[in-house]
Amino acid sequence: RFSPRPAADASLFEREGPPQLTERLLTVILEAATLSDMAYGDTVPEVAAKMNETGIFDLEVSHPNYDSLTFYSNEPDMGVVASKGGMCYGAFRGTVPSSLVDWGQNFDLTVRRVYPLTDEAQSGYEYCTVRAGFADFLDYDSSSRAMAKIVECAASCVDPDECVVITGHSQGGANAVVASIVASRLNPIVVTFGQPPAVLGDCDLIPADGTFRFVNYIEAE
């Protein structure tokens, strides 16, 4: 169970009648898919070169399709924060097949409480319970810097309630769901592709009509 999204005057969403994907929203989802792929790092030459040097880095990249584009790496995890067309995007890398750390995170069935932009020790705050392996990235300094970048970007939006998009593929999708809990006060739109379940039980910090989970049901022949 997720919470409903507050109404807005100029919206990505059709608010009358059955839920619909607007043309603007489909454009945002396509951008999320592009950045989810880009979060793997190997399609951007500057990032691929940096990955060959070190696994821990922040790297701002000039790209013709984005107003800003910054990669945050702490191998095997990587995220990218981008701004484009008045929207702010945060995308997470999926499972790296050769990474034992990633597979360990995928199969970690222990649980962890995740709080919205506050310290976990402050037990008086609302929280959601998630699979711990999908929240490991929160322990990295690079995650704090990436989140600060998203908050900074959101502050410049005309409509801060429909500005932030958090996305990812595979494990990156699960990371995106966890990150949306942390960033819940920004009212993020969550778009995931092939995402494994990340949240245990109800989570009112994730907006129901702002969450789009794409799953491929077609079996390969």
pLDDT per position in the chain (221 positions), as tens? 444 444 444 466 555 555 577 888 999 999 999 999 999 999 999 999 999 999 899 999 999 999 999 999 998 899 999 999 999 999 999 999 889 998 999 899 899 999 997 545 555 578 999 999 999 999 988 888 998 999 999 998 888 778 999 999 999 999 999 999 999 989 999 999 999 999 998 899 987 788 999 987 766 65
* pLDDT at 50 (0 to 100): 94
Specify which residues 200 forms β-bridges with. Answer: 129
> 23-213 has which CATH code?
3.40.50.1820
pTM over 0.85: yes
Contact 132, 199 (CB under 8 A): no
Residue 5 and residue 207 in contact, taking contact as beta carbons nearer than 8 Å: yes
Q: Give domain limits for the chain.
A: 23-213
CA distance 151 to 164: 9
Burial class (CB within 10 angstroms; exposed 0-12, middle 13-18, buried 19+) of 23: exposed
